[in-house]
Chain A
C-alpha cells in the first residue's frame, strides 16, 4: 500500500535533503526546528489491464453514447492527441496515447469509417520530430498514417486551416484547427500528468490559433490564476478556457474525450534514490547518489542532457475515462489529486525547490534560463491548492545552474527574448505591451515554427507569463548555483550556496524564517490550509 504524502518537520537528526540542480543534484542541510519538507505521496498502483480499461471506457463513456454508436461510414473522424510536452520524462512505450488511438482505430475500422485524420495538438509548441511521433503513437499508427499525410501536427499559423467556432460572452474568439472544426466527431486522446491539463483545455489550446490563445495566455490572466493546479474557480486561465469550452460544446463538433492518468513512478530503478525519503536511504542508495553525482559532474552539459532525456519512465496508468469532456475531466481530477495532494498547514517565509533538467517546453532540449523561471515560478510555485506555500512577500529559493544556453533549433525566439526583452524589462505586463506583438508576428519565427521544430515566436512570453503569479507574489527570488549574470538578467538574485541564500533572504524575512522545501521528484500538490 503506497504511503500518502508527508510533511517532515526538520530537526537536528534530519539528514541533508535532495535538491535537483538541473542535470545534477545536491544535498542541502535545512535549518532545524523551523524547516519542513513536503514529500509527495508514493506512486499509486496502476491498472493491471490498461487496454481492457481503455476499451471499457470507450464502450461505457460518461454522459455520451458509446463510441461505436458515434462511428458511421462516410463520417469525418479526427483523432487528436497531446504532444510531446507530456509526459515528463517521456513514458515508456507503449504510451497511453498509442493505446487509446489503436483502440479507437479498431472501432472505426469495424464501423467502416475511412476518413480519419490524426492531429498532434501542439498549440504553439514545437513540432514533434518523427521519432517522437513514433514514440508516442507507435510504429503501426505512424507507418499507416504519416506517409499518407493523415497524421500531422496542428499549425496555428495556417490561416487556411483555422476556423472560428464562436465567441464567448466575454468576447473571446474560439478559433481552432479547421479539419477538427469540420469533423463529425473528434476523439481526443489525453495523457494527464497534472491537474492543469485536460478538460476543455485540450482542444481550446492544443488546436487553437495565437489570437485565440492570447485571450487567456496573458499577464493579467496568469497573475490571476491561483493556482494553475488548484480550483478552477481561482484560475482566470481556466475560467476563460471553460467559457471557450461552452462555445465549443454549443457550436463546435461533437467531442469524445478520453483522459488517462498516470502515477508518479517517473524514474527507473537506477535512479531509485530519487523516489526515496532521505532518511530511508540505505548504503546502496547513498553509493548510487555519490556515484551518479560524481559522474555527472565530470560530464559536459550536453552529455548530461543526453543521459536524462533518454530516460523512459515506468509510469503506470491509474485511470481511464471517456465521454463528455467536463464529466470525464472531473473524474480525471479526482485521480490526479488522489496521487498528488498533500495536506499542508499554513504558509512559511521561504519556499525552496530544486529545479530539474526538464519542463514541458524542453523535451529533448536545453533548459534555458527562461524555462528555469517558468519551471520554478510557473510550475513548482503553483503546485498548491488554496494558498501558496510561501507567504506573500516571502522568498523563493531555487537551485539550478541557470547557464546561458539555448537550443537554437527549438528556441530561436527565446534567444532574442533573453537578449532583447529581458534586457529591457522582466515585467510581464510591460513586455506584453511593448514586445509581444513583434515576436508573435515575426515572419522568421513563424517560418521556423511551421516548417522546423521551433516553438512559436511568442512562446517565451507565455513561458514568462506562466511565472507571473509567482513573480508577483514573491518578495525575492534567489537561485543557488546559477550563473550570476544570467540570474540577474532574470531579475533574480544569485547565491553560491544555500547558506548564502538564507543570508540574502534575511533582508526580507529576517534571521529565523520558517522554511518549506517542496520535494521534487515526484509531483505533488500542496493543499495549503
Chain B
C-alpha cells in the first residue's frame, strides 16, 4: 500500500528541524516523512482487526516528529519505520465504524492488565511499550509509532480489539476524529480537577487554545464542577472558540497573568506589571497546552503556591528557572493520553467514553478545519503547523475516497 512513513534517518530529522523554523512545508518535504509504497503489515494475531482509515488527524506530537523536534526520550518507545497517525476514525472489514484508542497497552501486548477493566494507558510500568511482545508487536507507545501495526496515515492498519470503540451511526466521521484529542484534554482537565475537590471557587488557567487547549476547556467545563476557567490564547478565532466551549474569561496570552490576578484578587510581585513577574497567589491549577519553555514558566508564575501545573502540551527540550517552582512548592504534573478517570463524585469513567459524550455535546466537527489527501501531505503538514495563524484548529487526512480502500 502507499502510505506516509517515517524512517530512522538522523540527517533528515536534523534538516527538518532547521527547515521548520523557516517554512513548515519545506520541513515536511525534506524531513523524515515520506509518501511511498510500504509493505503491508502482517496480522499480529488473534484479537487484531484490520481498520480501514477514514479520517486521520494531525496532532502536535506528529508535527514535532515530522519537524524533527521530538525528544530522544521516545527513541526506545518507537520502532522504525512506522506509519504515523493515531487520531483515527476508520471502519472494520464488516463495515462498522470505529474510533481508535491508540495506546498499545497491556491487552494488545498480551500481558496482564494492571487492574480489572484497565484502559490501554493505565498502569505504572511501561516495559510493555518499549519491548517486543510475545506476538511479535515491536516497541511502540501507540499505534502510529510502531512498525508492526501500521498507522492512520496509511489506507489501513492493524488495531487490537482493546483499542477500538464503536461509533453510533448518527456520529459523523468529522466528529469522531476529534474524540482522541478531546480525550487527551479531558484527562488533563481531570488531572487538574483532582486537586480542586475541596477548593472553594476554584480557578484554573489554561495556556493555549488550539485543539488540546479547547479540549481541556471542554473537559473542565463538563467534568470539574464550579471551576472558573481563564484562558490565554494567541489567535482571535481560538479565543472565540474557547469562549464557545465554556471558558469564563479569554484573553490574549500576554495578558493571562493580569486576568488571573483579577480573578483571584492577588498581587503581582514587583511594582510593574510589564511582564514576567510572579503572582503572589494565582490560579489553583494551570494547564499548559502549549509545552514551551515560556508557557511552562508562565504556568508556574501564575499558579498559586502549592498549586498544580499540568503539562498536556508535549514539552520536549525546555530551559527553565525553577527557583519559583521550588519556592512556591508548585506541583508539576504531566498529563499523557487518557485512561481510567476518577470523577468529582468518586465514581470512575473511561476517558474515551467521556470524550465521545463531549464530542457529541459540542458537535466537535466544528473544530475540524480542513482535510487533505495523503498525497497532499506537504500542504497538510504546512497547514497544521500554522493552523492558528491561518485561522484553523484541526487538520486531518481524508482517505474515504482512496482507491486502496476497495
Bind each other: yes
Residues of chain A having any CB pair with chain B under 8 Å: 408-409, 412, 415-416, 419-420, 438, 442-444, 447-448, 451-452
Q: How far is the CA of A420 from the CA of B259 in the complex (A)?
A: 8
Which of A412, A444, A447: most chain B CB closer than 10 A? A444
Given known pairs A408-B273, A412-B273, the reply for A444 and B268 (CB within 8 Å) is yes
Contacts of B255 in A (CB 8 A): 419
Query: Interface readout for B153-191 with A: 1 if CB under 8 Å, 0 if not?
Result: 000000000000000000000000000000000000000
Report Cα–Cα, A451/B258, bound state, in Å: 20
For the complex, give the distance between the alpha carbons of A444 and B280 in Å: 10
Q: Are B274 and A408 in contact (CB under 8 A)?
A: yes
Docked-complex contact B265 and A442, CB < 8 angstroms: yes
Q: Contact between A419 and B259 (Cβ–Cβ < 8 Å)?
A: yes
Q: A408-B273, A408-B274 are in contact. Are A415 and B268 (CB under 8 A)?
A: no
Q: Which of B267-313 contact A (CB under 8 A)?
A: 267-268, 271-274, 280
| Chain B interface residues (CB < 8 Å from chain A) | 251, 255, 258-259, 261-262, 265-268, 271-274, 280
Instruction: Decide: B272 and A408 in contact? CB cutoff 8 A.
Output: yes
Of B258, B266, B271, which is within 8 A of A448 by CB? B271
**A444 and B259 contact, CB distance less than 8 A:** no
Pick 28 A–B contacts, CB within 8 A, sort by A: A408-B274, A409-B271, A409-B272, A415-B258, A415-B273, A416-B258, A416-B261, A416-B262, A419-B251, A419-B255, A419-B258, A419-B259, A420-B262, A438-B265, A442-B265, A443-B265, A443-B266, A443-B267, A444-B261, A444-B265, A444-B266, A444-B267, A444-B268, A444-B280, A447-B267, A448-B271, A451-B271, A452-B271
* B contact residues around A419 at 8 Å (CB): 251, 255, 258-259
Give how many A-B residue pairs fall within 8 Å (CB-CB). Answer: 32
8 closest residue pairs by CB, A with B:
A444-B267, A452-B271, A408-B274, A408-B272, A408-B273, A416-B262, A409-B272, A412-B273
Name the B residues within 8 Å of A409 (CB-CB): 271-272
* Min CB–CB distance B400 → chain A (angstroms): 42
Q: How far is the CA of A442 from the CA of B262 in the complex (A)?
A: 9
In the complex, what's the smallest C-beta–C-beta distance from A28 to chain B, in angstroms?
34
* Residues of B contacting A451 in the complex (Cβ-Cβ under 8 angstroms): 271
A409 and B280 alpha carbons, distance in the complex (Å): 18
Measured in the bound complex, the distance between the Cα atoms of B258 and A442 in whole Å is 13
| A-chain residues with CB within 8 Å of residue B251 when the two chains form the complex | 419
Nearest chain B CB to A458's CB is how many angstroms away? Answer: 14
- Measured between C-beta atoms, what is the minimum distance from A406 to chain B in Å? 9
Closest to B267 in A: A444
Given contacts A408-B272, A412-B273, A443-B267, 20 further A-B contacts (CB under 8 A): A408-B274, A409-B271, A409-B272, A415-B273, A419-B255, A419-B258, A419-B259, A420-B259, A438-B265, A442-B265, A443-B265, A443-B266, A444-B261, A444-B265, A444-B266, A444-B267, A444-B280, A447-B267, A448-B271, A452-B271
Question: What chain B residues lie within 8 Å of A412 (beta carbons)?
Answer: 273
Distance in Å: Cβ of B104 to nearest Cβ of chain A:
46
Bound together, the chains give a CA A408 to CA B280 distance in angstroms of 18
State the CA gap A166–B253 with chains docked (Å).
Answer: 49
Residue of B nearest to A416 (CB): B262
What's the Cα separation between A451 and B271 when bound, in Å? 9
Distance in Å: Cβ of A529 to nearest Cβ of chain B: 48
CA distance A118 to B383 in the complex (A): 66
Name the distance in Å between B250's Cβ and chain A's nearest Cβ.
10
Give every chain B residue within 8 A of A415 (Cβ-Cβ): 258, 273
Contacts of B267 in A (CB 8 A): 443-444, 447
Q: Chain A: which residue is nearest B263 at the CB level?
A: A420
Q: Which residues of A contact B272 (CB under 8 A)?
A: 408-409
Closest residue of chain A to B268 (Cβ to Cβ) is A444
Which residues of chain B have C-beta atoms less than 8 A from A416's C-beta? Answer: 258, 261-262
Please give, as numbers and ranges, the residues of chain A lying within 8 Å of B261 by CB-CB distance: 416, 444
In the assembled complex, the CB of B76 is this many whole angstroms from the nearest CB of chain A, namely 47
A419 vs B267: C-alpha distance in the bound complex, in angstroms?
A: 17
- In chain A, what residue has the closest Cβ to B251? A419
Across the interface, name the chain B residue whose C-beta is closest to A445: B267
Chain A residue nearest to B249 (CB atoms) is A420
Q: Which residues of chain B are within 8 angstroms of A447 by Cβ–Cβ distance?
A: 267
Q: How far is the CB of B110 from chain A (nearest CB, A)?
A: 56
Give Cα distance in the complex from A419 to B280, angstroms: 21
Which residues of chain A are near B262, meaning CB under 8 Å?
Answer: 416, 420
Q: How far is the CA of A444 from the CA of B265 in the complex (A)?
A: 8
CA distance A442 to B280 in the complex (A): 13
Which residue in chain B gives the minimum CB-CB distance to A442? B265
Q: Which residue of A lies closest to B275 (CB)?
A: A408
| Complex contacts, A420 vs chain B, CB 8 Å | 259, 262
A409 nearest CB across to chain B (Å): 5
CA–CA, A416 and B259, complex, Å: 8
Q: In the complex, which residues of chain A have a beta carbon less than 8 angstroms from the beta carbon of B268?
A: 444
B274 contact set on A, CB distance < 8 A: 408
